[in-house]
Structure 1
């Protein structure tokens, strides 16, 4: 899958959860949504892009959510 498309999709999820009053809840919500609804291949590609500094367009809240919750169990 195209990394730019994954970043765009992740940022849309970030836009939704960023409206939550509690930042921790928003971070958890972003990570949980991606963990539950994205297939493992998509998650791996997004994390690999983030690790390689190829995800410059990724919103800060999405980057923080992924970094904070990256070791949580995946489905």
Structure 2
């Protein structure tokens, strides 16, 4: 039997956002997900999502993983 790590609420919400942008190419979808999270999520929620990604990415959409990486970049 395999064990899976349950997604925290931020992971589930981020996956829902990624689903809304699946019609875009993956890189543009990741940018759209990152933009949405940056604009609408509380910094504490972004931190919890980032920590979850640091611990492992099981269950997260590839666009979410890429979006977290984009959010971690310093703004120019």
Higher-Rg structure is 2
Give the alignment's TM-score, normalised by structure 1: 0.78
**Equivalent residue for 1:19?**
23
Aligned residues: CA RMSD: 1.7
**5+ residue gaps, structure 1:** none
Matched residue pairs, number?
69
**5+ residue gaps, structure 2:** 1-6
CA offsets 1:26-74 (integer angstroms, 9 cap, x no match) = 1111000001000000000100111122x4111112111211342244x
Please identify runs of 4+ aligned residues in structure 1 that moved more than 6 A: none
Give the alignment's TM-score, normalised by structure 2: 0.77
